[in-house]
Structure 1
């Protein structure tokens, strides 16, 4: 059977996604640049090396945000940090530019969602077979290190896998594939247990709830009752089961304690709150342009002694590229969110739009506790959301 250049380009995309999702692989220059150039070469070859000059709002947004980040290098506190981040953004943006041109139909959108799922699966298998999973829980108590890997990052990727799998299970009629998808589900759930990421668990719980609610739009009251009962059951199991409480429950309890000030917040929640305070105070001193992309860590070093990012995408961008960069970046989020809400209330939205919207909204909410503007998964979710909205507008499928 003859394999086309298009099919080979799919392999290159999985290669690149897998490298980008794996911090150990992406830190390897050979893997990073070879995966990137293979995508550029093979996608270009599949298009007979024709250069597309078509622009759209998504591409314009990427260029505008990339431009303000590039300008920020000129006044950055530490230019080397900014330049390293811009190198990552350039690779990410070029890849998204190319993929954007390939998605014109619902089938093509589903194809790239599947390629993303395969890459997430490869990442999860790598973690299980190459890392000591117990180290993630020990690290929360300061008793171990996890190297380049971050428990929240792994957990959130697992959460995206679970949510997207729900769509694949609902829309795939092949029994063998459905069985494989079901068999694969314990893998992300196992990693969620060991990483004990509050953000990831919240994403899964809310993601599954929203998927169930939107899948049955005509039974809103029943949906809400089932979801509320499910949330109550999950919360009680995590709080009353000894193993689950020791792994996850105590961290949720700490987060709730910080929110309602009725309990004792854990050290991680308190430290993140401190970073937010540092960031807000710094932004007030340079509200328009900020201090240079990826330069929060310099300010944080002087304020807290920690040379680390803010753990909050909103704060990171406010400090890095100021109010201008912040508005450029989040203007597109607001546009997509507004378009989706308008479609939802005007007529029945399609399932593919709903599932991309769920991932998009949850990732958006998680910006309060993660920095993801340079992450491949964040860029892809935004691209998938923009394409699903456009297809819904154009074809109303």
Structure 2
């Protein structure tokens, strides 16, 4: 019941945001706030790091994976603002963002961050081949240094490097000694079996943890967005969720405006990136991705309105 109430609150707040973000300047302000929020979070994590106790950091603010993804998302927006505005202030937080993402030990956030940088750089320069090759070379070089640091610097290797190795071995051979990977594979398997028992409407929101607790005497969520939704609200609920989620992606792909490409590409990557990671995390009830989804809806509405105005002006000039 608590989860249902949380989702209801998210919907009300997000619906209000759609009506509030009626100008592109307000949307820019919202995304810049994500960068500033990520910066404050990164600084807070940094100030609370205890180097005498090497482990995954970030739990002072919540789940390490969640904090890693939030700061990685801030990084995507920050890089995008820099590439399109060329204002140095937007690139300044990136070294700190990258460092904290690594120190959270989140594989998802690390991969999301690296691929996001490549995507934003590619989309920014795709119309200029020489500039694209130059920028991609520099970005790839930075990522190579980034990977070298992960596997060569002891603190990074102990926190994230070993976890990336374990993931690689599991994906390539199907075998691993890491407990979290084994546990999550089991969670997905059991979750799919529970879904098959009540495929249409499921067991109710957030009831995966109840079923898992009844079986293993420890209530846990599934770490898989698809499984969590299938078990909770069945095919019907998953379909309704995906209808809006994939609709947001479609609108961003086809809603073009040269002036606001930085917003469009960064929103598109973040929303699609989360979707691509659905099998590795639960985010249907996440506040930040829900707000980003509704911000993308506001962007589409505002952009459509501006495009119509421009077409009207163009037609009047021809007359």
Same fold flag (TM > 0.5): yes
Aligned to 1:255: 167
Kindly provide the CA deviation profile for residues 64-110 of structure 1, in whole angstroms up to 9, marking residues without a partner as x.
xxxxxxxxxxxxxxxxxxx1112211221221111110112221210
Does the 8 Å contact 1:336/1:385 carry over to 2?
yes
CA distance in 1, matches of 2:84, 2:137: 25
Moved more, 224-233 or 280-289: 224-233
* Equivalence map 1:139-150=2 (5 Å): 146=59, 149-150=62-63
Aligned to 1:217: 126
Does the 8 Å contact 2:69/2:109 carry over to 1?
yes
Runs of at least 5 residues in structure 1 that lack an aligned partner in the other structure: 1-82
Aligned to 2:229: 317
Does the 8 Å contact 2:120/2:265 carry over to 1?
yes
Aligned to 1:87: 5
Aligned to 1:366: 277
Matched, 1:285 2:194: no
Matched positions, count: 305
- Say if 1:136 and 1:167 are closer, same or farther in 2 by CA, change over 3 A: farther
Kindly provide the CA deviation profile for residues 248-306 of structure 1, in whole angstroms up to 9, marking residues without a partner as x.
11101111122121653521111111110111010000001111100100111133333
CA distance in 2, matches of 1:136, 1:156: 23
- Say if 1:352 and 1:136 are closer, same or farther in 2 by CA, change over 3 A: farther
Matched, 1:197 2:197: no
Aligned to 1:163: 76
Aligned to 1:385: 296
- Say if 1:135 and 1:97 are closer, same or farther in 2 by CA, change over 3 A: farther
Does the 8 Å contact 1:286/1:322 carry over to 2?
yes
Kindly provide the CA deviation profile for residues 231-251 of structure 1, in whole angstroms up to 9, marking residues without a partner as x.
555434433444432221110
CA distance in 2, matches of 1:260, 1:332: 34
Kindly provide the CA deviation profile for residues 141-162 of structure 1, in whole angstroms up to 9, marking residues without a partner as x.
xxxx947721101111110111
Kindly provide the CA deviation profile for residues 199-233 of structure 1, in whole angstroms up to 9, marking residues without a partner as x.
11111101111110111022467266666665555
Matched, 1:326 2:243: no
CA distance in 1, matches of 2:160, 2:262: 31
- Say if 1:217 and 1:390 are closer, same or farther in 2 by CA, change over 3 A: farther
**TM-score normalised to the size of structure 2?**
0.84
Partner-residue secondary structure (3-state), 1:138: coil
- Say if 1:303 and 1:135 are closer, same or farther in 2 by CA, change over 3 A: farther
Aligned to 1:108: 26
Does the 8 Å contact 1:159/1:188 carry over to 2?
yes
Moved more, 108-117 or 196-205: 108-117
RMSD: 3.0
Partner-residue secondary structure (3-state), 2:156: helix
Q: Give, in angstroms, the shift of residue 326 of structure 1.
A: 0.7
Runs of at least 5 residues in structure 2 that lack an aligned partner in the other structure: 311-319
Aligned to 2:253: 341
